[in-house]
Structure 1
């Protein structure tokens, strides 16, 4: 049964191996170049704040190329689920070739279990190795950006993509088992994976570990790094170094109340640097809910475990369905 499954899957495996080798080669070359640029940026530091400007320029130069690479790795599990998982069972049910195997004393559950195991391991290998190489290549940038918790970076680094790949593969196979048609199963898999990839970072991930709630001072430098400064003391883009800001309040004064609107409006009257310096001198803070950077690996392990558990449940559902509902 294993050999039979391998013969059916070998073309996809060879194509995936070629693509993985090409991607890994490009990432290694890119990673070596990135390290050279990082060393050059550090070497040209001058004065007490020289490294800040140099490293900011380094970060800005490589943000977009790395976002594209991150997006490629994040999308890879969805492609695995669509093109490997969904047809895995649906194509055989659609063409009737599954009966050939069952007539040779192979039970339905064994047939499905072997398919899920081999295809799942293949998907995890391709996506996981891509993630590992990208994690290595992007490590100088990640150290400067300090943005490991962002949805895009978190989903493209370290352990999480292994769990994503296994989940999408099993999900696609089970949907194919239910729908029994390849193209509809692929479409449903795409919709389901996109939905999960949106809901988990926004709804599930913030609750994997209870967050820290604390008062965070708003200095002039904090204001300069904001992406939004509203007319009623609301702000956007608050960042804490190497932490994930889940939510925050409006600007608060030393008494814990929202900053006096008159004082706030007077600060908004100048140029950008003047606004930052003025607000920085008002002794402001925000009540912020965040996840400290040292919890990063806790989140990686827990989210990976969550996807592993979901994969096992889906596999169990598939083994039950193939025994009772497939003729």
Structure 2
């Protein structure tokens, strides 16, 4: 009896204290354990790990390069004396920084297209084409969970990569944000690469590509169609940006020539339209009387047309953030519709 008791005590003590250093080793083992993917999450990550790691690695390299470029830009601005001195006077000295902005912004604008084609389109279309989807449907895991895991992991990678790139690119651009000569804030290279817009555009493009792949069930065909879809999204979006803001109008009534020339706008304002205002309040084109050869002849022409002032419509730069969130909310809503369609379609036809 005493022998059994001692053995049990020894065994129990050994399992918890491991002799002299047992407690420390046991605690260390527990402390060094790290969470690992398991089950369906592990399976989906392993299946697409090449694409996921490529995206994350490319993001890390891009961030490092942008951080370096930002340091170079700040050093130049400090040495040049900005904002005390206008960048218009810098001439070719600032051209390399403009070129860097153009190069990076072009690459960032291509991300929704690239990820839509190479991540979204094959994500499920490949499984439907090679029969993996049927194998999944035969297992204990439901098709809904399989689809949800695929979309969640792909969406997480997209949000992390585009969100980080958006934040770092905006941080790089911020010191010269008000300079139209660097990047006009209403242009795609600025508006589409900062704030929530790149995240929303890329998510919609990727999940749109997934939906195309689910319907077509052929990887190559889905990639081709997704390319056309993502390009069309970019084109439609670029024409819709202006409509996201609330235009401000300035009108004058003291003539349009000499000291009464075009009214000044706030710094960084985006001009939408210039028109002349007549005495009756009507608007006439900016080119009215432009063919007159002398100022006197032009003034006579303007008097005949009863032009009394300017009407200038513009968007202030202060609206940029609100416009981006409004546009992104529309894209997020469209993405939610696509996801709902995927689950509706997947419940019966995703085999």
Tell me which interval the TM-score lies in, with the shorter structure as reference length: 0.7 to 0.9
Q: Residues 142 and 309 from structure 1, CA distance in 2 versus in 1: closer, same or farther, beyond 3 angstroms?
A: same
Q: Residues 130 and 321 from structure 1, CA distance in 2 versus in 1: closer, same or farther, beyond 3 angstroms?
A: same
> Scaled by the length of structure 2, what TM-score is found?
0.74
Partner Cα separation in structure 2 for residue 104 and residue 81 of structure 1: 29
1:40 aligns with 2:89: no
Partner Cα separation in structure 1 for residue 83 and residue 245 of structure 2: 40
Provide, for residues 294-317 of structure 1, a one-character-per-residue CA deviation record: whole Å limited to 9, x for no partner: 211111111111111111100001
Provide, for residues 2-51 of structure 1, a one-character-per-residue CA deviation record: whole Å limited to 9, x for no partner: 12111112121222222112111111110000011111222695xxxx53
| Equivalent residue for 1:265, pick from 275, 286, 293 | 293
Shift of 1:107: 1.9
- 1:288 is aligned to 312
Partner Cα separation in structure 2 for residue 218 and residue 159 of structure 1: 41
Q: Residues 9 and 239 from structure 1, CA distance in 2 versus in 1: closer, same or farther, beyond 3 angstroms?
A: farther
- 1:314 is aligned to 338
- 2:269 is aligned to 243
Please show how residues 176-255 of structure 1 align to structure 2 within 5 Å.
176-202=213-239, 204-215=240-251, 241-249=267-275
- 2:110 is aligned to 75
Provide, for residues 105-136 of structure 1, a one-character-per-residue CA deviation record: whole Å limited to 9, x for no partner: 22222211211111011112112211211111
> Scaled by the length of structure 1, what TM-score is found?
0.79
Shift of 1:199: 0.9
Partner Cα separation in structure 2 for residue 206 and residue 135 of structure 1: 20
Whether the 8 Å CA contact 1:131–1:157 is kept in 2: the answer is yes
Whether the 8 Å CA contact 1:38–1:58 is kept in 2: the answer is no
- 1:275 is aligned to none
Shift of 1:54: 3.3
Q: Residues 41 and 218 from structure 1, CA distance in 2 versus in 1: closer, same or farther, beyond 3 angstroms?
A: farther
Partner Cα separation in structure 2 for residue 239 and residue 114 of structure 1: 50
Runs of 4 or more off by more than 3 Å in structure 1?
A: 50-61, 216-221, 251-260, 283-286
1:11 aligns with 2:35: no
1:104 aligns with 2:128: no
Shift of 1:94: 0.5
Instruction: Give SS of 2:185's match.
Output: coil
Whether the 8 Å CA contact 1:77–1:127 is kept in 2: the answer is no
Shift of 1:207: 2.6
| Equivalent residue for 2:162, pick from 123, 127, 144 | 127
Shift of 1:254: 8.7
| Equivalent residue for 2:321, pick from 270, 294, 297 | 297
Partner Cα separation in structure 1 for residue 341 and residue 160 of structure 2: 24
5+ residue gaps, structure 1 = 225-237, 268-282
Partner Cα separation in structure 1 for residue 169 and residue 73 of structure 2: 12
More moved, 307-316 vs 208-217: 208-217
Please show how residues 83-162 of structure 1 align to structure 2 within 5 Å.
83-145=118-180, 147-162=184-199
Shift of 1:60: 4.7
Q: Residues 150 and 103 from structure 1, CA distance in 2 versus in 1: closer, same or farther, beyond 3 angstroms?
A: same
Whether the 8 Å CA contact 1:242–1:292 is kept in 2: the answer is yes
Shift of 1:210: 3.5
Whether the 8 Å CA contact 2:56–2:157 is kept in 1: the answer is no
Shift of 1:220: 8.7
Aligned length: 295
Provide, for residues 122-165 of structure 1, a one-character-per-residue CA deviation record: whole Å limited to 9, x for no partner: 11211221121111122223233372122221001122111112
Provide, for residues 262-294 of structure 1, a one-character-per-residue CA deviation record: whole Å limited to 9, x for no partner: 784326xxxxxxxxxxxxxxx996423322222
- 1:235 is aligned to none
Instruction: Give SS of 2:194's match.
Output: coil
- RMSD between aligned alpha carbons? 3.3
Q: Residues 16 and 134 from structure 1, CA distance in 2 versus in 1: closer, same or farther, beyond 3 angstroms?
A: same
Instruction: Give SS of 1:147's match.
Output: coil
